[in-house]
């Protein structure tokens, strides 16, 4: 069974034993001659070197245009600015990948996940050849999957250890809006003698207050889940690259 590109890359990362891991597509569009150049940048001190298909040999509307937009959005939302997240040809230090777990369609976000654990990320132009065999399965139709995975990555980057900061904030905002709406409802009832049967603010107030409580409860449950995840597996919320003066 074909489990998809993310699963294939995860399997490759798990089984690789070299000091540096360099994945590449099997459609012959990447050029192995670029591998020594990627390794040279690793030797310069970088942990991740991402290939950039600067002269990409793909159709503009179906492939390059969605890629340009996706790369811009991903770079802005994650803070890891790369021109070509979709290029599989990259070089990773082995120890960086040990802290990266892949799910869904997250293979394109490996540089972001690596940067989260402190990796130094850079990019360099690589060759790209015309596709001679087979047909690409990527295109505009996969945009929704990329957006959903990006939302997941953004949440993991910002709130994986403190989800209450997200849900609690929205809960407070919603409760505040519900309080304002409730105050306006009471004012209309007491001073303008408006019937509550004809006032949609009453329904809005109930909805906002209910949603505010829901957000806060979701945040607390997410906090419990996060604590269980880290404590049950003995995982730390930090990463140490090197210890100095510890005997």
Query: Would you say residue 5 has pLDDT above 80?
Result: yes
The pTM (predicted TM-score) of the whole model is: 0.78
The reported pLDDT for the residue numbered 166 is 93
Q: Which residue has the higher pLDDT, 245 or 119?
A: 119
pLDDT digits (tens, 9 = 90+) for 151-179: 888 888 888 889 999 999 999 999 999 99
> Edge-to-edge, what's the strand order for the sheet holding 121-125?
20-21, 90-93, 48-52, 121-125
Query: Would you say residue 104 has pLDDT above 80?
Result: no
Question: Sign of torsion, CA 202 207 210 216?
Answer: negative
Query: Would you say residue 181 has pLDDT above 60?
Result: yes
Q: How far apart are CA 97 and CA 21, in angstroms?
A: 9
For the domain made up of 5-159, the CATH class stated in words is: alpha beta
Query: Would you say residue 65 has pLDDT above 70?
Result: yes
Q: How far apart are CA 32 and CA 96, in angstroms?
A: 22
The domain segmentation of the chain, as residue ranges, is 5-159, 164-232
Straight-line distance from the first to the last Cα atom of the chain, in angstroms, rounded to the nearest whole number:
50
């Amino acid at each position: 069974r074909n489990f998809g590109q993310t699963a294939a890359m995860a399997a490759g990362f798990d089984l690789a034993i070299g000091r540096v891991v360099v994945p590449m597509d099997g459609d012959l569009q990447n050029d192995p001659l670029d591998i020594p150049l990627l390794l040279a940048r690793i030797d310069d001190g970088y942990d991740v070197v991402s290939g950039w298909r600067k002269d990409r040999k793909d159709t503009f509307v179906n492939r390059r245009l969605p890629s340009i937009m996706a790369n811009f959005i991903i770079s802005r939302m994650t803070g890891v600015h790369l021109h070509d997240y979709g290029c599989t040809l990259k070089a990773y230090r082995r120890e960086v990948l040990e802290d990266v777990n892949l799910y869904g369609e997250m293979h394109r976000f490996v540089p972001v996940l690596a940067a989260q654990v402190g990796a130094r990320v850079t990019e360099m132009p690589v060759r790209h050849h015309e596709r001679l065999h087979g047909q690409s399965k990527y295109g505009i139709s996969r945009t929704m999957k990329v957006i959903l995975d990006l939302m997941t990555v953004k949440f993991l980057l910002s709130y994986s250890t403190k989800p209450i900061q997200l849900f609690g904030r929205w809960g407070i905002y919603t409760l505040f809006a519900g309080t304002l709406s409730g105050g306006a409802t009471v004012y209309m009832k007491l001073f303008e003698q408006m019937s509550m049967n004809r006032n949609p603010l009453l329904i809005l107030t109930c909805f906002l207050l209910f949603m505010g409580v829901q957000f806060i409860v979701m945040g607390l449950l997410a906090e419990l889940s996060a604590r269980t995840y880290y404590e049950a597996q003995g995982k730390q919320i930090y990463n140490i690259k090197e210890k100095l003066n510890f005997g």
